[in-house]
Amino acid sequence: MSNDPVSAALAPAAVTVRRVAIVAVADFELLDVTGPLSLFASATLDGAVDGPAAYRCRLVGAAAGTVSASIGVALTLDAGFADTDPTDFDTVLVAGGAGARRAAADPALLEWLRAAAGVRRLASVCTGAFVLAQAGLLDGRRATTHWRHAERLAADHPKVRVDADRIYLRDGNVWTSAGVTAGMDMALAMIAEDLGRRPALELARLKVMYMHRPGGQSQFSAELALQSADEPRLVRLQDWVFENLSSSLTVEDLAGHAAMSPRHFNRVFTRAVGISPARFVERARVDAARRRLERDGGSIEVIAHDTGFGSAERMRRSFLRQLGIAPSDYRQRFGPRTRELSP
């Protein structure tokens, strides 16, 4: 064994096989469970495909036996809350889904999670955050969930400091993540913390996923925001906005197209979508510019002009505000040349 302190610092944090409990309730989101499960089950202590297993996973729920996902697929639970000690696990992760918010009223689940409060790592995926919040485990902490449910989480649990734009977030020993595939980002970050960057990077390559996704949830929500609005005129407005990004797109412009007065439009839009019309237009422009950067080699100045920013500097500021990354860096990571060179 090398006595080199640098080599020692880069070595895996431990060789112990860590035990992971993934909590699934009826009508869970399938990928909230199988995404993290696949990563933990595939992780090895040395990063090799056939190396020694780093984790032992168990599915836990109301009782041992089958439990159905929201899409009808069933998984077999290894154990129920009554016959499992949560403190036996290194990591306890609560999956989200349509049934998670209903399960937040289950006294057995809440009691089991409160008993798990002292484990090394407690986590949730998507609406699993509602379960942790109902158990009081997010009080005074920063937390995230799927962007569509963040406002409700904040309203239902005012002691939780909700950050709606994070892919995943860690506060002490509690981790929370956004929806569905974000649970895989979070699980990979946990694996990197446990085993070191190299094994985690090899696992990311094996699963064909990014080691660390830049930006937050806002990069995914702009085109979806109006589709969930109840007001038909707002839904129809979406295509028009994306077809006219190079125009000024003031509140007056949008209100006129929606056949509303600017004051009434601003109020209806903000209530239905959750952000102001100006903020939505900025997100739409960032989305359009992001797609251009991913697929063509046009100059950033031209893309900024075509998508309505007016200048590369204004586009850069919007990218940093919305995605946490500059347009040039975004192109370097996700542009056509990057995809050609990727394994």
The CATH number for 320's domain is 1.10.10.60
CATH number of the domain bearing residue 143: 3.40.50.880
Position 50 pLDDT exceeds 90: no
What number is the average pLDDT over the span 34-53? 92
Residues 9 and 104 in one domain: yes
pLDDT average, residue stretch 323-335: 84
Same domain, 96 and 34: yes
Q: Among 156, 173, 207, identify where a domain stops.
A: 207
> pLDDT (tens digit, 9 = 90+) per residue, 97-151?
999 989 999 999 999 999 999 999 999 999 999 999 999 999 999 999 998 899 8
Res 110: pLDDT: 97
**Do 229 and 198 fall within a single domain?**
no
- Let me know if residue 213 belongs to a domain: no
- Let me know whether 231 and 175 are in one domain: no
Kindly report which listed range (9-23, 56-70, 190-204, 221-235) carries the lowest average pLDDT score: 221-235
* Residues 74 and 162 placed together within one structural domain of the fold: yes
Specify the length of the chain in residues: 343
Regarding whether 119 and 242 lie in a shared domain, the answer is no
Does one domain contain both 174 and 250? Answer: no
Are 113 and 29 members of one domain? yes
pLDDT at 218 over 60: no
pLDDT in tens, 272-309: 877 889 988 998 899 889 888 877 778 999 999 999 99
Overall domain count for the chain:
2
Which residue pairs, CB below 8 angstroms and at least 24 apart, start in 46-52?
46/12, 46/199, 47/195, 47/198, 47/199, 47/201, 47/202, 47/203, 48/202, 49/206
Q: What tokens were used for 238?
A: 């979406």
Q: Is the pLDDT of residue 228 over 70?
A: no
Alpha-carbon gap, residue 149 to 132, rounded angstroms: 14
Q: Do residue 161 and residue 61 come from a single domain?
A: yes
**285 part of a folded domain:** yes
* Amino acid 10: pLDDT: 41
Percent of the chain with pLDDT over 90: 61
In a domain? residue 37 = yes
Is residue 295 domain-shared with residue 190, that is, in the same domain?
no
Answer yes or no: do 122 and 10 share one domain: yes
Q: What is the pLDDT of residue 333?
A: 77
**Secondary structure percentages of the chain, helix, strand, coil, to 5:** 50, 15, 35
The pairing of beta strand 174-177 with beta strand 65-68: unpaired
Has residue 91 been placed in a domain?
yes
Does some domain include residue 273? yes
Q: Tokens 């640098």 — which residue?
A: 6
Nearest by Cα to 55 from 91, 87, 79, 83:
91
- Burial of 180 by CB count in 10 Å (0-12 exposed, 13-18 middle, 19+ buried)? middle
Distance CA 296, CA 135 (A): 48
In a domain, 212, yes or no: no
What is the pLDDT at residue 325? Answer: 87
Domain boundary, last residue among 207, 239, 269: 207
Give the per-residue pLDDT at 220. Answer: 54
Phi/psi at 204 (nearest 5 deg)?
-60, -40
Within a domain: 175: yes
pLDDT of residue 208: 78
Q: Which domain holds residue 102?
A: 5-207
pTM greater than 0.85 (yes/no): no
Position 7 scores a pLDDT of 39
Does residue 225 sit within a domain? yes
Looking at the fold, whether 179 and 233 belong to one and the same domain comes out as no
What is the distance between the alpha carbons of residues 78 and 72, in angstroms, rounded to a whole number? 19
In percent, how much of the chain has pLDDT > 70? Answer: 87
Domain termination site, one of 148, 183, 207: 207
